[in-house]
Structure 1
């Protein structure tokens, strides 16, 4: 939990800093996650970062049934779920029209989550909104993925260098690869692993060949 919580804190604090420096026009830039603009994607990330508070207010399940890798299953990517996710983010974005509101709301949300996590005993279990029973640590790991990976999308939308923090990069890359090293010859750093594994950077023919020859597999968000 300490490692995952530190990654969540680092990545959220960095995103909050970025948001405070935006101007109003930045919020309407298109993102690599259509049809969302920056304001919509930020609303989606804010909602995801804040889910823990309500989850911890509910009764805990008896046992964990999935881990962070299992959480990213096909049920999270059905057309119905995707439509609801898109519409919800756009509605919430309209409620916070300006940069000060967007930045302040995200800062409040992630800090409330961090405080709620800090107050929990070791091994705390939670139910997700999809009905998954998992440990709080594993669910928080999925939040690091959400904030970190969508942070790459926001950086692309804003024409900025990726600001992914080392702690978050390590957590996300480890989850995507199952803790396995990438095949020899790829020489990928964690940021490249994340970009390649999530489809945010295309594989070259050489990379594809090395991966196929080594039978290397990574977590698919749609799988």
Structure 2
């Protein structure tokens, strides 16, 4: 629960520090500019708020790791992805995107702090405890933080503990550990297909290379 707050606060602070021209730079999400990514974060924050007030009576069907499904590599044809791009462009002024993220994002952060980790909630036709749901989002925030800074080297990186926890979660999803020589950031970028491994890294990956990329949805 605490790591959710730290990772989310760090990501929102990184967005708040962006210059207007940064919003027109590419992000680490294929086909998305930084402004599109920030718009997606607003939608994510809304999802957090909705989920935390959607109680469930049945037993959990997922946990923080199994919450994630492995999906096809995005092609850009998904209607929701296309809607995100159009919505981001409609904001016009980057200051409006910053304001909306700060407004909705702060509310999502407060809701997470107030949530009982043992309460069961429903999202995507699945049931999780609030604690597991928020833990799953540490991986979401960390990957998108890396997406945000992909072409903005002067923007602060995700917290080290977020990178470490996200790597551990991705390794559980993969069912195998990444080579010890990989930094946490390298493991996350290569593991999710955001970066192509070098020939040497490909060799180190061994059998795990055949499972990559792990595109999470």
The reply to whether TM is greater than 0.5 is: yes
Counting only pairs closer than 5 Å after superposition, residues 18-97 of structure 1 correspond to structure 2 as 18-74=14-70, 77=72, 83-97=78-92
Q: Spell out, residue by residue over 1:80-134, the C-alpha distance to the aligned partner (whole angstroms, 9 max, x if none).
A: 9961331232243245332322222222222212221232323111211x21222
Residue segments in structure 2 that go unaligned for 5+ positions in a row: none
Q: Which residue does the alignment assign to 1:110? A: 105
Q: Distance in 2 between matches of 1:200 and 1:81?
A: 15
Contact kept? 1:48, 1:143, Cα under 8 Å: no
**Match for 1:138 among 132, 156, 159?**
132
Report the CA distance between 1:204 and its aligned residue: 2.8
Matching of residue 15 in structure 1 with residue 15 in structure 2: no
Specify whether residues 78 and 159 from structure 1 end up closer, same or farther in structure 2 by C-alpha distance, changes over 3 A only. Answer: closer
**SS in structure 2 of the partner of residue 192 of structure 1:** helix
User: TM-score normalised to the size of structure 1?
Assistant: 0.80
Answer yes or no: is 1:123 the counterpart of 2:118. Answer: yes
3-state SS in 2 of match to 1:147? helix
The alignment of Structure 1 onto Structure 2 pairs a total of residues equal to 215
Gap change, CA 1:143 and 1:79, over 3 Å in 2: same
**Cα–Cα, structure 1 residues 208 and 31, in superposed 2: closer, same or farther, change >3 Å?**
same
Is 1:101 the counterpart of 2:96? The answer is yes
Asked whether the 8 Å contact 1:177–1:219 carries over to 2, the reply is: no
- State the match for 1:192 in structure 2: 186
Secondary structure of residue in 2 paired with 1:133: strand
Native 8 Å contact 1:174 1:180 kept in 2: no
* Aligned-residue CA RMSD (Å): 3.1
